[in-house]
């Protein structure tokens, strides 16, 4: 095994509590290229608004499908998502902090996930503001509707017309901060660090940071170890090594 992989393995063995931090990189690998185009469209058309959705519910659903749902329900979890499930099962990581809203960690089977930007599992009715929690409502081929009043629902983290959204996002970020504050080791995978100041500032001074990313990011300076490689290959090597050992 390469020296830097051995180093990561050593850090993981020495760590009592390891957290993984993930971003769009692990989903892009697996068919989220559409997201980039969609985000441009979302911003230009202001589709995440009550007025747009009430007039154009099925168009909104089509945008959601391209941006998130296709990756989640058609492509499914990537190799890295699955490896993280296995690492949690083995007790080698205790949780995942992610900027992704695509629910793919949960779909893959990870249990302890902090989605600090929210996700489309948490929804709100644009009419009566009833909340519901199930990502599967988005996998029925049409716009999901409120069980109480029949109006369209939307992800709460996009619902800018109410301060409910702020509370949801505050709680979500706090969960990420609490996880980071507990960790002896943070393994950063496929994220360039969107809003990372808010959670990484809470990492303990003696905790270690390892980054696995083919390109440079803002984590480079803070990391004890930067591994410039494909995350699936690195985790595969480390996990097989642990199994043999």
Residues 93-132 that bind Zn ion (CB under 5 A): 125, 127-128, 130
Q: Which of residues 132-171 bind Zn ion (CB under 5 A)?
A: 146, 148-149, 151
Q: Which residues of 120-147 are buried (b: 16+ CB within 10 A; e: fewer)?
A: bbbbbbbbebeebeebebbeeeebbbbe
Alpha-carbon distance 228 to 213, whole Å? Answer: 5
Question: What's the min distance (Å) between Cβ of 80 and Zn ion?
Answer: 37
Q: Does the protein bind Zn ion through residue 32 (CB under 5 A)? A: no
Toward Zn ion, which CB reaches closer, 108 or 153? 153
CB of 124 to Zn ion, least distance (A): 9
Taking the complex as a whole, how short is the minimal distance between the CB of residue 129 and Zn ion, in angstroms?
7
For Zn ion, the closer CB: 46 or 131: 131
Q: Which residue's CB is nearer to Zn ion, number 87 or number 151? A: 151
- Answer yes or no: are the C-beta atoms of 159 and 128 closer than 8 Å: no
Q: What's the first-to-final CA gap in the chain, in angstroms?
A: 13
Q: Least distance from C-beta 146 to Zn ion, angstroms?
A: 3
Q: Cα separation of 202 and 178, whole Å?
A: 8
Cβ proximity to Zn ion: between 56 and 127 the closer is 127
Q: Which residue has the tokens 């992704």?
A: 100
CA angle 116, 27, 142 (to 5 degrees): 85
Q: What is the binding site for Zn ion (CB under 5 A)? A: 125, 127-128, 130, 146, 148-149, 151
């Amino acid at each position: 095994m390469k020296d830097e992989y051995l180093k990561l393995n050593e850090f993981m063995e020495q760590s009592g509590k390891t957290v993984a931090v993930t971003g769009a990189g692990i989903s892009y690998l697996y068919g989220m290229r559409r997201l980039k185009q969609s985000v441009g469209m979302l911003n230009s058309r202001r589709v995440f608004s009550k007025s747009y959705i009430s007039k154009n519910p099925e168009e909104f659903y089509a945008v959601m499908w391209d941006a998130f749902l296709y990756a989640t329900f058609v492509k499914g979890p990537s190799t890295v998502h699955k490896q993280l499930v296995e690492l949690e099962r083995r007790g080698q990581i205790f949780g995942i902090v992610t900027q992704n809203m695509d629910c793919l960690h949960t779909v893959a089977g990870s249990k302890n996930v902090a989605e600090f930007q929210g996700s489309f599992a948490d929804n709100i009715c644009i009419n009566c503001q009833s909340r519901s929690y199930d990502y599967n409502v988005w996998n029925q081929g049409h716009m999901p509707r409120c069980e109480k009043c029949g109006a369209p629902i939307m992800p709460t983290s996009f619902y800018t017309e109410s301060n409910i959204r702020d509370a949801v996002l505050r709680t979500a970020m706090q969960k990420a901060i609490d996880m980071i504050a507990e960790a002896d080791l943070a393994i950063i995978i496929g994220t360039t660090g969107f809003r990372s100041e808010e959670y990484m500032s809470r990492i303990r001074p003696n905790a270690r940071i390892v980054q696995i990313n083919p390109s440079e990011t803002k984590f480079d300076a803070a990391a004890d170890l930067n591994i410039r490689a494909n995350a699936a290959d690195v985790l595969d090597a480390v996990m097989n090594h642990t199994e043999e050992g």
